[in-house]
Amino acid sequence: MVRAKVIGAGGYGGVGIVELLLEHPQAEIACLVDVADVGTPISRLYPHLAGFCDLPLLDPSDPEAQKEADVVFMATPDGVGMKLARAYLERGVKVVDYSGDFRFNSAESYAEYARRIGRDPVHAAPDLLPETVYGLPELHRAEIHPGRRLVGNPGCFAVSCLLGLAPAMRHGLVEPWSVICDCKTGVSGAGKKPNPGFHYPARYDHMNAYKLAGHQHVCEIERELGLLAGAEVRVTFTAQVVPVCRGILSCLYGQLTRPIAADEVLAMYRAFYADSPFVRLFDRSAAIGSMHVRGTNYCNLIVDVDERTRKLRVVSHIDNLVKGQAGSALQNMNLLFGLPETAGLRRAGQYP
């Protein structure tokens, strides 16, 4: 059994990985750690876990929080993982970090990201950056294996956009300068911490764009698309909050480099994702939406061509808290330990 420790267990990302670990056939929870609600059973914070997981949240200094583990999930804000990772790695514990601390392989690329979010651009563990792997299995599966020990989980918007655009970039179907990412997220993307702008009266019946000066996930989107295209990529990215709890809808566009039919593009996407069990592909006639991925690790893609404007159009649906966060983290854990990639993740969700 893989023994898993969760740091930041009281947040949405923490409880998300707890939910998934409870259903994993080859993993168990060693302990739950947080700096808030210390001593409180997680089932008191989240009553739906009563009888399934009643472990208390432990202070990081508690001896019980030092229990042996094989993997630690750091469901923590930026700046935390980079300070904690080394001690775990030296003890032979694999690390999956939710934040942007280990999404980049050099101090320079991290600094660009850090400046965008207003953080100190100096990384606390720059020597670890060359060994981290970007944790989007659909693009880096071969690099996420038992010989690796450090994974930077991708950002939720990045997952949605990259899965929607990767095959097109790999095949040179769209101009690298022409990509538009029009993305909408549910309010849970802001996390659990109370925020006046996300109080119910401020969110009900209200939609708005935000971070127009530059969203932090753009850094990883442009880097990954550039690697696929073999050229510099710049995207026009607009993030919006809509009054739903969870889910991301990304409408993705790019100018086609040559005339091509929608069914031919769809065939390219099917071939690209032939070994990716969590990407499902549909044509323009599919009546699908965010409800059909809610609570799952799936990404549903509608792949289309607007013949009139000669543009690629891809509509991407994910659950921001699962495929955009805890689901990808567990998928990465499976690969790090040589387990079936779908272990603990093959579920259909709920309808309606």
| Whether the Cβ atoms of residue 205 and residue 241 lie closer than 8 Å to each other | no
Tokens of 153: 């989980």
Measured distance CA(16)–CA(105) in Å, rounded: 27
d(CA 8, CA 78): 12
- Is 156 an active-site residue? yes
Whether cis (ω within 30° of 0) applies to the bond prior to 352 is: yes
| Distance (Å, whole) CA 325 – CA 75 | 9
Report CA 277 to chain centroid distance, whole Å: 16
How far apart (Å, rounded) are the C-alpha atoms in residues 106 and 87? 20
Q: Is the distance from CB of 243 to CB of 205 less than 8 angstroms? A: yes
Contact between 19 and 6 (Cβ < 8 Å): no
Residue 305, beta-bridge partner list: 312
Query: Annotated catalytic residue: which of 31, 53, 156, 181?
Result: 156
**Torsion sign across C-alpha atoms 339, 340, 341, 345:** negative
Which of 179, 116, 136, 157 is CA-nearest to residue 239? Answer: 157
Q: What does the alpha-carbon distance between residue 140 and residue 162 come to, in Å, rounded to a whole number? A: 12
Catalytic residues: 156
